[in-house]
Structure 1
């Protein structure tokens, strides 16, 4: 008896659904399509949501940027949405020029994880005659401006080689980073912050990028 009752109820429900579909027409088809799209988005484990966020930012003219303060031992990273409240993200450790390729790939992967559509790499000014570079040496010493510029090219190259279409769409820029470390140290001392100076310097770099206070950023092309 119970089985027959369940079968009768199922038949009644199916007939009601059929009448509703016939009466509502396109609304029901739109509902089914929406459910299918939602299911596909969930199956992609959130990738579709990130794509929609990127598309929404592009439609509004917004930009999410990753700031990069490159150093011989550490790389400071920061993020900002259209210049609003740039925040230190983290500091990467590496061991000099022998690992710049791996470091560039890690920066590219970080930009993808943070859904950034651009990366800003700080480059110090070329030291003039009698000037010293950041290591306190003279003109004939290590040229950090050239090293930072090359690293920016390696990041652009890593993005161009990525299998992720969103990563390939990221644009890399360079911008003058003069005195960002000094300014970051002064701010941290005044506020009592315990952030990494490198990451704080990257945040200041993003401030400069979005307010245009340190010249025009330069687009970087892949090395290859």
Structure 2
């Protein structure tokens, strides 16, 4: 089962960066996140703007420093991250990163293989299966917090055979924001949450073929929230 995920105002920088970060980030592993960015940089279907590249390299820089501190196998390479990034054009940045990672990464998780090369930045569209969809939505909501000051509303539409789920996130830094569900248009949808500051408004329409959707929120960073989306076809 494939889904087309579309991000509104996809050509605006905050939304494009949100899309990029959503595909690349793995909250459990800086190494796999670097690998995720590398896949995007090497993807011929992706065209990045100069300020996007700067942001990507900045992120990779921090991730690499963290990885060096965390992984003994990476530390043994003893390379200068700052110099490496400054010379990424001359030294073919993605290729070097890939070669570096191949020393201790035997394979890329299936979830990346399912998502990479299926992004269209100009249209803000991602193609993913149901498993990837839960990861993407989780990361979209997590990353949306960081873009809230410059883009207060982020709308995500997920389409599958003319059915839609729509998530709208409003005013993520507003203490008065509440989690909202339009119960008239949905059935068998459970939403659980705590978050206080940063728990935004979420509007959800179910996909007809999925009879049970659970959104679980937990606080992170003190001013945002992380959502995991669990799907079940059981009635």
TM-score tier by shorter-chain length is: under 0.3
Structure having the higher Rg: 1
Structure whose residues are more often helix by fraction: 1
Scaled by the length of structure 2, the TM-score of the pair is 0.24
